[in-house]
Chains A and B, each alone.
Chain A
Amino acid sequence: MSQSKQQVYRLNTGGRIDRSRTLSFTFNGQRYQGHPGDTLASALLANGVDIVNRSFKYSRPRGIVAAGAEEPNAIVQLGSSEAAQVPNVRATQQALYEGLAASSTNGWPNVQRDLMGLFGKLGGQFMPPGFYYKTFMAPASMWLTYEKYIRKAAGLGRSPMEADPDNYDHFNQHCDVLVVGAGAAGLAAALAAARSGARVMVADEQEEMGGSLLASRETLEGKPADQWVARVLDELASCENVTLLPRTTANGYHDHNFVTLHERRTEHLGDTAPVENGHRQVRARLHRVRAGQVILSTGAHERPLVYAGNDVPGNLLAGAVSTYIRRYGVAPGRKLVLSTSNDYGYRAALDWKEAGCEVVAIVDAREAPAGDWVDAARAQGIKIITGSAVIEAKGSNRVTAARVAKIDIGAFKVSGPVQELACDTIASSGGYSPVIHLASHTGARPTWRDDILGFVPRLVKGVQACGGANGCYALGDVLAEGVEAGIKAAAAMGHAVQTVTLPSAERLQQGSAVALFQVPHEKPTLRGPKQFVDLQNDVTAAGIELATREGFESIEHIKRYTAMGFGTDQGKLGNINGMAIAARCLNRSIPEVGTTVFRPNYTPVTFGAIVGRHCRDLFDPERYTALHQWHVERGAEFEDVGQWKRPWYYPQKVNGKTETMHEAVARECLAVREKVGILDASTLGKIDIQGPDAREFLARIYTNKWEKLAVGKCRYGLMCKDDGMVTDDGVTSCLAENHFLMTTTTGGAAAILEWLELWHQTEWPELDVYFSSVTDHWATMTITGPEARKLLAEISDLDLDRDSFKFMDWRSGKVAGVPARVFRISFTGELTFEINVQANYAMHVWQTLFKHGEKYGLTPYGTETMHVLRAEKGFIIVGQETDGSVTPEDLGMQWCVGYDKPYSWIGKRALTRSDTKRENRKQLVGLRPKDPKVILEEGAQIVLDPKHAIPMPMVGHVTSSYYSPILDSGFALAVVKGGHQKLGETVYLPMADGQTHEAEIVSTIFYDPKGERQHV
């Protein structure tokens, strides 16, 4: 098939692309063509697209620099529809697919003609590091205004405004050996580990596994290296103990070899996941890997050289040039100048020449380069300029020439005349930086090695680095390191390795590299043209020099002042150069300056993958009682109590209008006080306590006494933490001499069970007692009100006589034909029976109650009515009247404290502290607003003198406040300093709206003060 005319930089042969098929795509609205196997970046280069973005701060035109995750410029917005928008995709990592639609993330109004560019050009001189801090911070109130425009000008992509149609999920993975990166080292390691039988996972972030071997000019066993890759992958794929994860980036390395992998499962197919068998495929998956051993074979990133104008489109990494030619069949220009400090860079020139393009010159910073690749270049007749470097790239939208001169690295100056070489592409290589990001996530600071001019990872337990990640670059050595790491890791997990024969690699002579982190210019750095260190964040060598001059000496401070290593880049391309420049300016060594801390994630991760399926109605568990469906059908509004959904109130339709909450609650309250109401109380925590020492245990864990509680009786209990503060309450019943049933608050159930176990296991193991949660086993239905007995009598075989089944008794019998335990306890102050049945029978019993309850006016009520009714009786709710700083005495509940119990109990000692004995502690009181129509605000602060100058001394606050239908008045519970001595006094509640309410301190019991109603 003939090549598309547009693909002017596409080579006729070579590369791992499928020229027989054409894919069309758009970039910034322009239509282009590429081939399967292309990345978006290689396709853009093939089509001669030079400018892919505008820079962050100076708005300079930028082109593609790299071929992998380290690409700083080609950050695009992806998505053909609003819902499919994905920001910050690196074009170098995005596989091309038919219909791909991408645009630049930066550039306003567009990349070719950028208004901000003017600002950048004019303002550039005036935008030193810290510019925003220095300029826009005053007046502080204006920052929000400035920010809006700065964001618009800067910006890195945007989020979609419509719901994402795709699915994401999490996989919990476990393996013996996790290999990160499937290049030469990783494949060798994986092969060695796999042959031991160990469970191996291999994650690689590229479309194809093989890393640099896919585009290498080197051979293995005398054949192209990618043949060995294919063989190894075949073997690994056939192993049941191996999981291969291509298109999967290891983004975070957390404690204990917990590694998060982000797998992009369908992003090479389209901008939304395809539908298969009626189900949309999972687009991205987060693998949460717990690995026994981790092998970091993440390779190395090439360091660009830092010279003036090194950001003009057409400046590329030498290795990227090779990759585009050899892997994607694209030569991204016609005339190349290569600037290098080492032998590796020469490969770009050799590949360029073999692709049939012109190499203008190789500019080598070394005086006398020597080595096999250098010889090969000489043999090809390529001109080599030694002891020199490209000191400046000319051109604005594309490189037009390279200015080349002799340099004196030691003296940091240009030492010879400048010559200008016409070219359209400048490739540079400053050597390699091992990819140490993941190892750094563990907190281990890397170590500088002078021999390789790079940082290598310092490793924690259970992790090895090999190959490029370990500063080892010669292919034969890389493979050997990989195999060794694989064997070691498998052995550490108890797996012995069979033989692994290494493929023979060429042994190449290499000259040593020279350290060159910034190329000198004729002008001093601060006054010369910009030399970019971090392209993504527009950090220049001058910026770093200025930062050091302004007193920023720590590399962490320099990073934050200049923004070096921020953003999606995370310092992949520029950090080492930046640190070295800082070291030069500070006159320190690189290890003295050190690195900044790399943090997860290595590359951006879509929120979808982070969230997985923990979203929408699966965001958090919803706990339901056995009666939930009835509540739903009855139209209940629900309240969240912990994870439980409890009916809050049941609004009814009256004359076609739905009741307000106020109306519904008033109706429900009166029904309980005058007839009978029913509450689903199943959510209360229930703990089954058995053992000969159960009673003694209760006496120690509760504040009150339990020694005399007889079988068949119930008692209210109060629990304190060891600091003497109330933490839970509830009724505990004596089922048998050695058997009790404890109830806890709904929210406290799990924590209280743990609390009991904690004290039993750590402090009182000598007590013979066991606890088991039976919360979910029982469904609890509370019928309460004057008609409760009549209703229950209709459907129960229990003797409900007031003298034989007294208040605070429990009995067992049948209710609606179902075995039940019935407790005569009351949280409303009315005659109450709490019916407990095995939860599977609950719906039947509940419905039977309603069948018989209609004539008695049986009314379901929710938590709001429960709150009003209990507050009318002055019953506390732990967590509402208490907040962890309230003692039983503060609540006026001395009656519930067994001061003279023989054995100490939790909280006892704390209650004798001077602070807990203090007289002006906040104490629980009732408040009756002077105006009965006023419902005080919960949380409202209480003062004694409303005329006092602000700030007024605050003496307490309202803890609960409601309208009482039975009293036809607002009323409240509150804590007031010394409140127990202030009965009858007037207090004031100044509100935010300027009103001040007046209230009288009264008893906490507003209704039926003698408690006669619950005893009837």
Chain B
Amino acid sequence: MSNAATFDTRTDTAIPVESPLAYSYRRSGAPQAGGPSRLQLRERAMLGHLILRGGAIVLDEAVRDVLGISLPGQPQALVQDASGERSIQWLSPDEWLVIVPGGEEFPLETKLREQLGSAHFAISDVSGGQTLLELSGEAARELLMKTVIYDVHPSNFPVGKGVTTVFAKATTILRRPSDERWELVVRRSFADYCYRWLLDAGAEFGINVQQ
């Protein structure tokens, strides 16, 4: 064990939870397009988010054993398991973002720590600190062009890529898990700003929020 404190922040009772967008839905609503919409936005709330830090060689084997997918060694790479429910994204040379279904993060952390033993690494649970927004529809790329400075053209942003970039005046993690979907990982405290921005910028495309 790495002599770090682990802490399961979730509780199994029926305690009400509020996603980072809970306030935003109440404040700004969730627009529904009347007719056909060119743009859909969906929050995938309450997922498990872990920040994994360490050397790629150190981490790779443990990640493969525990999660069944290999650690993306290439910069800006995003890998997913077959179901698409679990993913690992390269963030920096010794930093990865793991996203798993909500509740899996603590057992995953525990297993990884067991596997990694006394190696030098760090795992931080950030599940309460960020949320995942999913964009789809033919106008998604145009919306992103209004929003992020990074080049989102398919030739520069193929499926399986993920970057950290500027979102208006905030930052975001932007990733492309499939042809038709984009994902934004935004920090909880900025989530309302990001949501209001997306609604405003997406209005001309008839943005449709799925709750």
Contacts and interface: CB of A to CB of B under 8 A. Distances in A.
Contacts of A843: 16, 18, 22
A927 to B, nearest CB: 36
A82 interface: no
A174 B153 contact: yes
B54 interface: yes
Task: Pick the most buried of A622, A711, A777, A841: most chain B CB atoms within 10 A of its CB.
Answer: A777
B83 interface: no
A463 to B, nearest CB: 19
Interface string A135-177: 0000000000000000000000000000000010111111000
Interface stretch (B63-71, B72-80, B201-209): B201-209
Interface string B48-88: 00010110000000000000000000000000000000000
B124 A814 contact: no
B143 to A, nearest CB: 11
Interface in A757-793: 768, 770, 772-779
A614 B168 contact: yes
A837 interface: yes
Contacts, number: 171
Contacts of B130: 776
Given A736-B3, A739-B4, A739-B5, A844 B190 contact: no
B211 interface: no
A367 B136 CA distance: 71
Contacts of B13: 817
Nearest to B92: A757
Interface in B142-192: 145-146, 148-151, 153, 155-156, 168-170, 187-190, 192
25 contacts: A172-B149, A172-B151, A174-B151, A618-B193, A621-B190, A624-B189, A626-B18, A626-B188, A690-B4, A690-B122, A736-B5, A738-B4, A739-B5, A770-B121, A772-B51, A772-B126, A774-B124, A776-B126, A776-B187, A778-B129, A814-B11, A839-B129, A840-B20, A841-B17, A844-B15
A379 B121 CA distance: 89
Contacts of B146: 169-172, 613
Contact of B11 (A277, A770, A841): A841
A838 B127 contact: yes
Task: Pick the most buried of A169, A776, A842: most chain B CB atoms within 10 A of its CB.
Answer: A776
B203 A279 contact: yes
Nearest to A779: B128
Interface string A826-843: 000000000001111111
A199 interface: yes
Nearest to B27: A629
Given A281-B204, A776-B187, A843-B18, 16 more contacts: A169-B146, A170-B146, A172-B148, A174-B156, A279-B204, A613-B146, A620-B169, A621-B193, A622-B192, A626-B18, A628-B23, A629-B22, A735-B4, A770-B54, A770-B122, A774-B129
Nearest to A620: B169
Nearest to A683: B189
Contacts of B125: 774, 777
Nearest to B50: A772
Nearest to B206: A277
A199 B4 CA distance: 50
A167 B54 CA distance: 46
B124 A772 contact: yes
A275 to B, nearest CB: 11
Given A199-B155, A776-B188, A842 B7 contact: no
A171 B149 CA distance: 8
Given A171-B145, A736-B4, A623 B126 contact: no
Interface string B72-115: 00000000000000000000001000000000000000000000
Nearest to A737: B3
Interface of B: 2-5, 7-11, 13, 15-20, 22-23, 26-27, 46, 51, 53-54, 94, 120-130, 145-146, 148-151, 153, 155-156, 168-170, 187-190, 192-193, 196-197, 200-201, 203-204, 206
Nearest to A711: B5
B2 A690 contact: yes
Contacts of A737: 3
A842 B204 CA distance: 35
A239 interface: no
B107 to A, nearest CB: 15
B197 A613 contact: yes
Interface in A721-735: 735
B168 A772 contact: no
Interface string A806-838: 000000101011110100000000000000011
Nearest to A836: B9
A688 interface: yes
B44 to A, nearest CB: 13
Nearest to B165: A172
B200 A613 contact: yes
Contact of A691 (B10, B120, B203): B120
A290 interface: yes
A140 B91 CA distance: 59
B3 A617 contact: no
Interface in A192-224: 199
A622 B27 CA distance: 14
A692 B120 contact: yes
A534 B20 CA distance: 59
A644 interface: yes
B51 to A, nearest CB: 5
Nearest to B120: A768
A175 B17 CA distance: 44
A795 interface: no
Q: Which 7 A-B pairs rank lowest in CB-CB distance, beginning with the nearest?
A: A776-B129, A777-B129, A770-B122, A174-B151, A838-B9, A690-B122, A735-B5
Contacts of A692: 3, 120
Nearest to B16: A844
Given A174-B151, A776-B189, A770 B4 contact: no
Contacts of A173: 145
Given A738-B3, A818-B11, A839 B188 contact: yes
A288 B149 contact: yes
A773 B124 CA distance: 9
A625 interface: yes
Contacts of B120: 691-692, 768
Contacts of B17: 840-841, 844
Contact of B201 (A169, A625, A816, A817): A169
A837 B4 contact: no
B103 to A, nearest CB: 12
Contacts of B51: 772
Contacts of B151: 172, 174, 290
A621 B46 contact: no
Nearest to B19: A840
Contacts of A277: 206
B204 A776 contact: no
A804 B84 CA distance: 47
Contacts of A877: none
A691 B16 contact: no
A282 interface: yes
Nearest to A689: B122
